[in-house]
Amino acid sequence: MRLSRLTVIIVFIFLGVPCLVVAQTNANGSTINAIPTAVPFLNISPDSRSGAMGDAGVAISPDANANFWNPAKLTFNENNDEFYVSYSPWMRNFVSDMNLSYLSFAHRLDSRNSIGASLRYFNLGSIQLIDANQVDQGTYKPSEVAFDVSFSRKFGDNFSLGLTGRYIHSDLSSQSFSTGSTQTTKAGNAFAADISLYYKKEVQQFGVPAVFAFGTHISNLGSKISYTDNGPQYFLPANLKIGAANTWTLDNLNQITFTFDINKLLVPTPPIRDSNGNIIQGKDDNVSVPAGIFGSFTDAPGGFKEELQEITYSPGVEYSYAKQLFLRAGYFGESANKGNRQYVTMGVGFKYLYYGFDFSYLAAAQKNSPLANTLRFSLSINFGSTTAAAPAQE
């Protein structure tokens, strides 16, 4: 069998199979010179709120999306029960039927403890299967799924920690598809964990009440994933997010938040090799997961300058009127040598009683970017009463 659609190029990238130079884009929208990992969809921003703020969300006010951005925030969520659903047609200029769906739920157990769960489904679109005689053999729909369960606990009034467990299923090739080797491809499965922290403090700034918040989230710490029985194994996109946010309450109706996130993959940077495969610059990337995580800060072939290029940054702003109307904007920046994702984002949100609707739009800075004109649509529902978070009891 062979696959007769450009979508298969993405499958090849995921599987680490050599492919034509026309394959210039990974599933998260970065160019092929980005640090390679399996299942990069795990780091795609799934929700409209942060998607409108340059993909910044580690330290902004908590909601059910904290399951993705910073599970430690869950215990500070003012809603006792919150459900969130989001949908995004993904890279629609590249593949017309690729999309990302996201479900998230948060529940406050008491004043100290909260739990959450989320499900991400990444549909890579339909691939037509054609044999050597050009006879149609039907279609195949590769997809990836991640299911998370999180727990958050508050320590005192201002600080919390979070822990997440994750199951990942990556089904990227039909059984009819062969890589050309003696290995038969299969769906990949892996387990991972996240650890996170969150700190917030009510203060006075410029004569008005304000809230300063700080967060850190280390995600996708887990086993490698493989798509064959005895073939190569690939790193999960272990990732470090650090963010800060400052919110000013200008009066009874007007509130504004500025936030800033930085992000770095905690996986090995591939070395530079000669034609014989010998390393001439950098370090061997065939290492264990712990070695890859700790070595990711010092293994870039270009030294410290290249390490800095591996950091992405996301400034964002959110304006709130009466906590019912929200206007948002942001920017995402990434080095041209490490993926070259650069885009401006914007969006709006509305809340009425227990319901909320959010929308975001992405305008890519590069011409012909597969991320250009990306849309996200989200709906949130609060079940039961909505109350202010009670202080933790010592």
Q: What is the pLDDT of residue 325?
A: 97
- CB of 292 closer than 8 Å to CB of 221: no
DSSP letter string over 211-266?
A: EEEEEEEEEEEE--EESSSSS-EE----EEEEEEEEEEE-SSSEEEEEEEEEEEE-
Percent pLDDT > 90 in the chain is 64
Q: What is the pLDDT of residue 127?
A: 75
Q: Where do we find the tokens 């370090």? A: 283
Q: Which residues pair with 239 in a beta bridge?
A: 219, 265
Task: Give the 3-state secondary structure of residue 290.
Answer: helix
133-168 per-residue burial string, b: 16 or more CB within 10 A, e: under 16: eeeeeeebebebbbebebbbbbeeebbbbbebebeb
pLDDT band at 29 (very low <50, low <70, confident <90, very high): low
Q: How many Cβ atoms sit within 10 Å of the Cβ of residue 113? A: 16
Q: What is the pLDDT of residue 28?
A: 67
Among 9-13, 248-252, 279-283, 370-374, which is the least confidently predicted range? 9-13
pLDDT of residue 257 exceeding 70, the answer is: yes
Mean pLDDT of 104-128: 92
- Check residue 189 and report its DSSP letter: E
Q: How many CA atoms lie within 13 A of 337 on its CB side?
A: 12
Q: Which residue has the higher pLDDT, 176 or 40?
A: 40
pLDDT of residue 93 exceeding 80, the answer is: no
Among 66-75, 181-190, 201-210, 351-360, which is the least confidently predicted range? 181-190
Pick the CATH number of 2-269+310-384 from 3.90.950.10, 2.40.160.40, 3.40.50.300, 3.40.50.150: 2.40.160.40
Q: What is the pLDDT of residue 393?
A: 42
Mean pLDDT of the chain: 86
Mean pLDDT of 83-93: 90
Rounded to 5 degrees, what angle do the CA atoms 93, 97, 99 make? Answer: 90
| Highest-confidence segment of 12-21, 209-218, 271-280, 370-379 | 209-218
Mean pLDDT of 161-166: 97
| pLDDT tens track for 45-63 | 999 999 999 999 999 999 9
pLDDT of residue 132 exceeding 80, the answer is: no
| pLDDT tens track for 289-319 | 999 999 999 999 999 999 999 999 999 999 9
Instruction: Residue count of the chain, please give it.
Output: 394
Task: Name every residue whose Cβ is closer than 8 Å to that of residue 258 and which is 6 or more positions away in sequence.
Answer: 245, 246, 315, 316, 317
C-alpha–C-alpha distance, residues 216 and 200, integer Å:
12
Task: Give the 3-state secondary structure of residue 86.
Answer: strand
- CB of 35 closer than 8 Å to CB of 265: yes
Task: Name every residue whose Cβ is closer than 8 Å to that of residue 3 and which is 6 or more positions away in sequence.
Answer: 11, 127, 128, 129, 130, 140, 177
Q: Which residue has the higher pLDDT, 229 or 389?
A: 229
- CB of 149 closer than 8 Å to CB of 116: yes
Residue of 85, 237, 58, 67 whose CA lies nearest to 150: 67
- CB of 78 closer than 8 Å to CB of 134: no
Q: Where are the beta strands (DSSP E) in 291-354?
A: 311-321, 325-332, 343-352
pLDDT band at 133 (very low <50, low <70, confident <90, very high): low
- CB of 190 closer than 8 Å to CB of 171: no
Among 52-66, 150-164, 379-393, which is the least confidently predicted range? 379-393
Q: What is the pLDDT of residue 140?
A: 79
| pLDDT tens track for 330-381 | 999 999 889 888 999 999 999 998 899 999 999 886 666 788 888 999 999 9
Q: Cite the DSSP H helix spans in the chain.
A: 7-15, 48-51, 66-69, 289-295, 304-309
Q: What is the pLDDT of residue 348?
A: 97
